[in-house]
Each structure stands twice: as C-alpha cells, then as structure tokens.
C-alpha cells in the first residue's frame, strides 16, 4: 500500500485541504486513532504522526522498513517490519521489542492491549501474550511435522526386534 501524504483532498464540506509531508520516504501503512491522532510508517524506519493539523516525523528506534502499524489506544501502539522488527509506542516514545522471528513481518493487528497477532514471510505467525511475542505454528507447518513424526515412530517400531512369548496352553482338567 502506498500512502500519499501531501496531495490535496476535498473534505465533506467541499473545502480543499492541503498539507506537506515531513518525509520523502515511502510510507506503507496508516492507522488513525481519531481525527486528530494518526500514525504512518514506512521505509528506513520512518514514522510520522498526524495531530489533526499537520504530519510530523517521530523519532524511530529502527532503520528497518516498517510495513504495518496498529494503535490499541493513543498511548499503546505497535509497528512491525523487515527482519522481524517489532516496535512499541508507550504514549511517549517508540522502542524496540524482542521478536521471536527474523522473518519479515507485514501486518500487525491487536485485539486488545494483551492480545495481538503479526504475520509475515513464509507463513510466519506470532502472537502477543501481554508480556511477550511468541511464535504460533500454523497447520501448514504442523501437519507435515506430525506426519513425519508418526512415520518415524512406525518405522522404529517395525525395526525393533519382537519379543518371543512362550505361549502356554491351558489344560483341561
């Protein structure tokens, strides 16, 4: 997705609005918390914020491409990007968060402050538990793994020597 900041638009009252982008970097995603609070992220770790009047750059803790941003509230937000980059907004500043993957992450969605998901390259799925991001294994990965484990167990079982049991035939009295 390409976000075009700086192009004139016409609002509902037919008034032309203009603003100037604070960056020449490509922006990949936008999330609006309200009409006066919005965020956009993009290339080289670019983060810009809308205050209801203008867009301005915000200090970023990364130079990685940021592909997606999601705000839980004005004081809690997430952005994800290349190399498994995850950053979090705490209401004051963005900071890096430990990621369980090095795969590129392309989208983040938060259900709440303690539950969220991010997805990316190669079927990567990670989940926010409220304290850390953990990998989730999709069935696309689990099914071949379970089939392989089952086949190995069958081969090993068949290869084991069978114990001979002496059979005693009960006698009739």
Strands (E), the chain: 9-10, 16-17, 27-34, 37-42, 47-50, 55-57, 66-73, 76-81, 86-89, 94-96, 105-112, 115-120, 124-128, 133-136
Q: Which residue has the tokens 């603003």?
A: 19
Query: In the structure, what pLDDT confidence band is assigned to residue 131 with cuts at 50, 70 and 90?
Result: very high
**Residue 124, in any domain of the structure:** yes
- Does residue 68 lie in a domain region? yes
Tell me whether residue 135 is in a domain: yes
Number of CB atoms found within 10 A of residue 31's CB: 17
Q: How many domains does the chain have?
A: 1
Say how many C-beta atoms besides its own lie within 10 A of residue 104's C-beta.
18
Residue 72, in any domain of the structure: yes
Domain CATH code at residue 93: 2.130.10.10
pLDDT value at position 148?
A: 74
Q: What is the pLDDT of residue 150?
A: 74
Q: Is residue 102 part of a domain?
A: yes
**Mean predicted lDDT score pLDDT of the chain:** 85
CA distance 26 to 44: 9
Q: Is residue 154 part of a domain?
A: no
Listed range (2-11, 17-26, 31-40, 82-91) with the worst mean pLDDT: 2-11
**pLDDT tens-digit readout, 146-171:** 677 777 777 777 777 766 655 555 66
Q: What is the mean pLDDT of residues 100-127?
A: 95
Please report whether residue 173 resides in a domain.
Answer: no
Q: Is the pLDDT of residue 1 over 80?
A: no
172, part of any domain: no
Domain that holds residue 71: 9-139
């Amino acid at each position: 997705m390409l976000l075009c900041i700086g192009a004139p638009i016409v609002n509902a009252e037919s008034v032309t609005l203009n603003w100037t982008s604070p960056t020449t970097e490509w922006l990949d995603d936008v999330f609006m918390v309200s009409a006066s609070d919005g965020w956009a992220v993009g290339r080289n770790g670019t983060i810009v914020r809308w205050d209801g009047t203008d867009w301005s750059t915000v200090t970023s803790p990364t130079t990685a491409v940021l592909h997606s941003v999601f705000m839980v509230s004005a004081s809690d937000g997430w952005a994800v990007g290349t190399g498994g980059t995850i950053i979090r907004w705490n209401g004051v500043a963005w900071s890096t968060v430990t990621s369980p993957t090095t795969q590129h992450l392309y989208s983040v969605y938060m259900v709440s402050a303690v539950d969220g998901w991010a997805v990316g390259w190669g079927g990567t799925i990670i989940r926010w538990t409220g304290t850390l991001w953990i990998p989730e294994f999709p069935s696309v990965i689990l099914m071949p793994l379970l089939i392989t484990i089952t086949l190995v167990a069958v081969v090993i079982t068949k290869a084991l020597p069978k114990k001979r049991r002496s059979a005693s035939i009960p006698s009739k009295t």
